[in-house]
A and B are shown apart, each in its own frame.
Chain A
Amino acid sequence: MQFVQNFPFMCILLTLICAVVTSVLKGRQARVLTMGLIAAVTAMTVAVLAYTLRTGESYVYMMGHFPAPWGNEIRIGVLEALMMTVFCFVMLFSFVGGLVPSIREIETTKYNIYCILADLIFLSLQALVYTNDLFTAYVFIEINTLAAAGLIMMRQKGRNLVAGVRYMIMNLVGSSLFLFGISMLYTITGHLLMVHIRESVAALAASGEYHVPLTVVVALVTVGLAVKCALYPFEKWMPGAYSNATPSVAAMLSSLVSKGYIFLLIKFYVRVIGFDVIRSLGVLDLLFIFGVLGMVMGSVHAVRARTTRMMIAYSSVAQIGYVFTALGLGSELGVVCALWHCAAHAATKSMLFVSCAEMDDACGGTHMRKDLRGAFYHSPLLALAFALGAINLTGIPLLSVFMTKVTLTQAAIGVGGRHMAIVLAAVAISTLLNAVYFLGTAVNLFVPTKPGDAVRPPTVRKNPFTAAALVGMIALNLAMGLFSQPFLTALADGLARFA
């Protein structure tokens, strides 16, 4: 075994150890340690990615002295390493980009707890991406849920507390459905390790035994994780949670927490149950319908939103809709598209949240979309970052979300029939609505204010951390847009070896 193969395990344990050590640190030491940790994990993940791309194979890493069905294990391949690399960069930029607002908004003496919870979110994300064991996945879902609820309540204002409680209730519903699902799956297969469940499920599907429990299991896990990702009819908890939280928390939640669950769901479909079995159970049609509804309804809500952050939060509903629509198509290309959109959306949405929060303050502490007029002339970098994110999500060629729409359409044409017509219509409507709210807001940034207008002084000074993070985010987004083809090829290769 090569030394680099140890890195995922080291990242997980290092993150845990840093979280524990942070509990006795003061604010400044805590944030230095957290930034250092995220940077170190990013570097190690890049090394793992390079290794997996070179070998092309995925490998299993035993967590302890006992092999597969007896002990725990994690599994790392191109797909895991690639997604994790994007997530690491997003995490780094979100944390650094929202650093100064977080210092302002979070109780000084408890700042280290913010860092701990950020570490724990990062820990659970890594574990969800790498794990090869369903129960380990559940344990880290618990950590993820608790830490995310804590992060939402970081500002301790009334609305944050309400949003945090809502988040907690809805996510506990999701977690418990997932737990029901995996315990039933354990009862009918006798395993918790994904590869071994796959073998048993293939035998069950072939013999037709336990057909009802198997369907119920897939439905429970799907609905549980969909509730946690805020798929359309379950999205009520989400806008309040994202729009009132401190910017780095909003960025982390929208780009990383929900993506961890989606990645786990894809892993559940592809590696645990097997995509053929899933297709035969008919759950995918449900996902498809709600995904399409989400694509449209999220955008409708976003058009009606008055505050910028609420708009961005509702646009997440639409983007999650894209992911689930792609997944619901039930083809290989659809899954590739879902994975790609997870990465693309993570990179874009975090940039939007960070730049938007900072721009609100630069425009005199406003929250309203219309008050951002002329922001480009006093804070050009923020406005550029926001505009890039906005036109990206609208779907302009050369940028990453455009590739989502192309791949989604290709996948739908591959499937054909009613699916094709619905997807084409939904993409068209959603793109139009996206253009209405995102382009409208983005263009407004470049319209100079009239001489008579009241211009409010900025409430905070510009800060180099946000600027540096935004430069990094812009670079990440442009890179993902320009190199989308190799990225998609790597995703497809990784998916082929993922099962």
Chain B
Amino acid sequence: MTKSKGVFARLNAWLDDEQSALERTMEAAQEQSAAPDLEQRSPAEIRWAQEELEEERRIEAAMAQWAEKKAAPAARRMYNALCVCMCLTMIALLLYTVTVLPAFGDPNHPINNEVSARYIEKGLQETGAVNIVTGMILDYRAFDTLGESTVLFTAAMVVLFLLRKDKESARYSQLAQAMDANPHSDTYYEPKNDIILQKTAVILVPIILILGVYVVLNGHLSPGGGFSGGAIMGAGLILYVTAFGFARMRRFFTYKTYQTVVLVALLTYALSKCYSFYTGANHIESVIPLGTPGAILSSGLILVLNICVGFIVTCTMYCFYAVFRKGEL
């Protein structure tokens, strides 16, 4: 064992569970001397294993019973009746409350206050966006929208963690084992190379993608924006992959593409918001020009942010579809 590797190298090796040669031989010797036989287990070990097994069985039995809904005993029926009562009470309470709330469209409604007045009257002038809603979500309340994009990112990460298969998955996940054991169980009856679907997709996919791009780029001028445009583009990608299969999709969209696009889009978003939050809070004049309202290159950062959100939504939608259907991108 060399001593020259340095503290951090050794710590890392130790963290990754890399054993030294000496440790390996010692462990091998130990294993040879003490064969792990059932008879040689201590009573505590056997008991514990049994308890574990018992509990596992109990959980399975309970889940099976729950799934099959066997004849419900009185307690269960009571529980169900109580659940229904609770839900009905809740519904009645909420419905009653809604009737007491101020009427929709009432000019004296509390929401018609200085907040919405400024959004409507000064929105165009202050944000440069003709579409007031976009100006509101991406400029006045940009922190919330940054949070919303992060929600998508979080959801995508959790789904990728649970469903994406790679070479390590089978060691850790029962789900991946089941999928490996029966790789075509989900996709066996799917139409492959369906001619009608393919011909339709050839016509529709470009139109859908262009419409999505239009909705994203015009987010500050007309109804739409990153979220809706991204959803349209995501739908286009899903249609493409349904018609032509993952092999063709992978020519231009892989896991790496997904990672890169989301990384760049979210980083751009976060960094540009860093700039505007910092300048805003410290009362520094922002140098980003708002441009002429109505022109495509206007409204400062909003256009950039819309594009970022559009990319994030597109990739997240496609990623959900792909990992739910196939377990990989």
Q: Chain A residue with minimal CB distance to B266? A: A20
Q: Are B118 and A70 in contact (CB under 8 A)?
A: yes
Q: What separation, in Å, do the CA atoms of A306 and B16 have in the docked complex?
A: 33
- Majority SS at the chain B contact face: helix
Q: A21-B263, A66-B280, A213-B100 are in contact. Are A371 and B115 (CB under 8 A)?
A: no
Count CB-based A-B contacts (< 8 Å). Answer: 216
User: What residues of chain B have their CB less than 8 Å away from a CB belonging to chain A?
Assistant: 12, 14-17, 42-45, 48, 51, 56, 59, 63, 93-94, 96-97, 100-102, 109-116, 118-119, 126, 139-144, 146-148, 150-151, 153-155, 157-158, 160-162, 164, 166-169, 171-175, 259-260, 262-263, 266-267, 270-271, 273-274, 276-283, 286
Q: What separation, in Å, do the CA atoms of A107 and B166 have in the docked complex?
A: 10
Residues of A within 8 A of B148 (CB): 139
Q: Are B276 and A135 in contact (CB under 8 A)?
A: no
Residues of B within 8 A of A1 (CB): 281-283
Is A180 positioned at the interface, with any CB of B under 8 Å from its CB?
yes
Q: What separation, in Å, do the CA atoms of A63 and B116 have in the docked complex?
A: 19
List CB contacts (< 8 Å) of A140-177 with chain B.
140, 142-143, 146-147, 149-150, 153-159, 161-162
Q: What separation, in Å, do the CA atoms of A136 and B277 have in the docked complex?
A: 15
Q: Are B147 and A364 in contact (CB under 8 A)?
A: no
Query: Which of B56, B161, B283 gathers most chain A CB within 10 Å?
Result: B161
Q: Are B48 and A146 in contact (CB under 8 A)?
A: no
Q: Are A72 and B168 in contact (CB under 8 A)?
A: no
Q: Are B143 and A147 in contact (CB under 8 A)?
A: no
Residues of A within 8 A of B259 (CB): 23-24
Q: Are B169 and A107 in contact (CB under 8 A)?
A: yes
Q: Are A162 and B59 in contact (CB under 8 A)?
A: yes
- Majority SS at the chain A contact face: helix
In the complex, which of the residues B102, B144, B172, B260 contacts A136, with contact meaning CB atoms closer than 8 Å?
A: B144
Q: Are A20 and B93 in contact (CB under 8 A)?
A: no
Q: Chain B residue with minimal CB distance to A210? A: B100
In the complex, which of the residues A16, A99, A150, A162 contacts B157, with contact meaning CB atoms closer than 8 Å?
A: A150
Q: Chain A residue with minimal CB distance to B155? A: A146
Q: Chain A residue with minimal CB distance to B162? A: A153
List CB contacts (< 8 Å) of A15-40 with chain B.
16-17, 19-21, 23-24, 28
Q: In angstroms, how far is the closest chain B Cβ from the Cβ of A250?
A: 18
Residues of B within 8 A of A61 (CB): 281
Q: What separation, in Å, do the CA atoms of A369 and B34 have in the docked complex?
A: 27
Q: Chain B residue with minimal CB distance to A155? A: B172
Q: What separation, in Å, do the CA atoms of A17 and B43 have in the docked complex?
A: 52
Is A206 positioned at the interface, with any CB of B under 8 Å from its CB?
no
Q: A65-B279, A66-B280, A108-B168 are in contact. Are A188 and B266 (CB under 8 A)?
A: no
Q: A371-B48, A456-B44 are in contact. Are A13 and B277 (CB under 8 A)?
A: yes
Q: Are A158 and B100 in contact (CB under 8 A)?
A: no
Q: A1-B281, A63-B280 are in contact. Are A117 and B154 (CB under 8 A)?
A: yes
Query: In the complex, which range does the number of interface residues on chain A fall in?
Result: 35 or more
List CB contacts (< 8 Å) of A353-381 with chain B.
364, 366-368, 371
Is A414 positioned at the interface, with any CB of B under 8 Å from its CB?
no
Q: Are B59 and A107 in contact (CB under 8 A)?
A: no
Residues of A within 8 A of B111 (CB): 186-187, 190
Q: Are B151 and A72 in contact (CB under 8 A)?
A: no
Q: A6-B282, A156-B173, A367-B48 are in contact. Are A70 and B119 (CB under 8 A)?
A: yes
Q: Chain A residue with minimal CB distance to B97? A: A216
Q: In angstroms, how far is the closest chain B Cβ from the Cβ of A458?
A: 13
Q: What separation, in Å, do the CA atoms of A366 and B46 have in the docked complex?
A: 11
5 contacts between A and B (CB under 8 A): A17-B267, A28-B12, A63-B277, A109-B166, A136-B147
Residues of B within 8 A of A110 (CB): 160-161, 164, 166, 168
Q: Are A136 and B143 in contact (CB under 8 A)?
A: yes
Q: Are B93 and A216 in contact (CB under 8 A)?
A: yes
Q: Are B147 and A143 in contact (CB under 8 A)?
A: yes
Q: A66-B126, A157-B174, A456-B44 are in contact. Are A17 and B271 (CB under 8 A)?
A: yes
Q: A103-B17, A157-B174 are in contact. Are A66 and B157 (CB under 8 A)?
A: no
Q: Are B173 and A123 in contact (CB under 8 A)?
A: no
Q: A17-B271, A117-B158 are in contact. Are A28 and B168 (CB under 8 A)?
A: no
Q: What separation, in Å, do the CA atoms of A364 and B172 have in the docked complex?
A: 21
Residues of A within 8 A of B167 (CB): 109
Given contacts A63-B142, A65-B276, A116-B157, 14 further A-B contacts (CB under 8 A): A24-B259, A28-B16, A64-B140, A71-B141, A72-B144, A153-B158, A184-B101, A187-B111, A188-B102, A213-B101, A216-B97, A368-B48, A454-B43, A456-B44
Q: In angstroms, how far is the closest chain A Cβ from the Cβ of B133?
A: 14
Q: What separation, in Å, do the CA atoms of A66 and B171 have in the docked complex?
A: 52
Q: What separation, in Å, do the CA atoms of A106 and B45 have in the docked complex?
A: 25
Is A425 positioned at the interface, with any CB of B under 8 Å from its CB?
no
Residues of B within 8 A of A16 (CB): 146, 150, 270
Q: What separation, in Å, do the CA atoms of A461 and B282 have in the docked complex?
A: 51
Q: In angstroms, how far is the closest chain B Cβ from the Cβ of A108?
A: 5
Q: What separation, in Å, do the CA atoms of A187 and B162 have in the docked complex?
A: 39
Q: What separation, in Å, do the CA atoms of A17 and B266 have in the docked complex?
A: 8
Q: Are A69 and B114 in contact (CB under 8 A)?
A: yes
Q: Are B15 and A103 in contact (CB under 8 A)?
A: yes
Residues of A within 8 A of B266 (CB): 20
Q: What separation, in Å, do the CA atoms of A108 and B144 have in the docked complex?
A: 33
Q: Chain A residue with minimal CB distance to B123? A: A70
Residues of B within 8 A of A184 (CB): 97, 101
Q: Are A190 and B16 in contact (CB under 8 A)?
A: no
